[in-house]
Structure 1
């Protein structure tokens, strides 16, 4: 299943893991060591969450193409996930 969700990336003062990622559609958060890593971590989080929801026969949020309001210099972007492809690598 291919899905798209918005994420918000905020730079923090943490030198080791300076990017906080909020995933509004799942009320989730993760972190990253770079913008690229933050996006990868968000994809991983969403894929794991969708897999868990599927396994427990719970509803999965529909794809959401709307970017949330942010404060500068935060970054709001859409990311895609392919849960079918992801489940092959578990």
Structure 2
């Protein structure tokens, strides 16, 4: 399976309280109190924007390969994002599903105070998610 990793150019504009971040390819903005936080916030904004586009059935656009137009006091850099990894770490949307178990397991689980939903989630993560 092809990993969906991209690197988008960002522009960091200094302000009195840190940096405004512009992602020209996606027409989104964020901010950070210093360069490290601004880059972190840019990656988060790009990741959230990207998985929202996927959820809405739209493709994530390819990033520009050239430096965007910017002012002399602005910093241009690229931010990489692994959209699959971002989704695994941040998409906590839940879905209701119907699961059947033998009656005796339901009784034993209830007696033991087991949260069936939580137990199923933990087992599925162990089995399906490879870090």
Question: Under a length normalisation based on structure 2, what TM-score does the superposition of the two structures give?
Answer: 0.63
Is the Cα contact below 8 Å between 1:31 and 1:38 reproduced in 2?
yes
Aligned residue for 1:89, secondary structure, equals: helix
Aligned residue for 2:25, secondary structure, equals: helix
Q: CA deviation at 1:58?
A: 1.2
**Whole-Å Cα distance in 2 between the matches of residues 88 and 58 of structure 1?**
19
The residue that corresponds to 2:27 in the other structure is 27
Aligned residue for 2:51, secondary structure, equals: helix
Tell whether 2:14 aligns with 1:11: yes
Unaligned runs of 5+ in 2: 91-131
Is the Cα contact below 8 Å between 1:22 and 1:28 reproduced in 2?
yes
Q: Which portions of structure 1, spanning 4 or more consecutive aligned residues, are displaced by more than 6 angstroms?
A: none
Alignment length, in residue pairs? Answer: 87
Which structure carries more strand by proportion? 1
Aligned pairs (5 A) from 1:8-87:
8-13=11-16, 15=17, 18-87=18-87
In our comparison, the structure showing a higher alpha carbon Rg is: 2
Tell whether 2:8 aligns with 1:2: no
Higher relative contact order (CA 8 A, sep 6+): 1
Aligned residue for 2:89, secondary structure, equals: coil
Is the Cα contact below 8 Å between 1:8 and 1:76 reproduced in 2?
yes
Q: CA deviation at 1:64?
A: 2.1
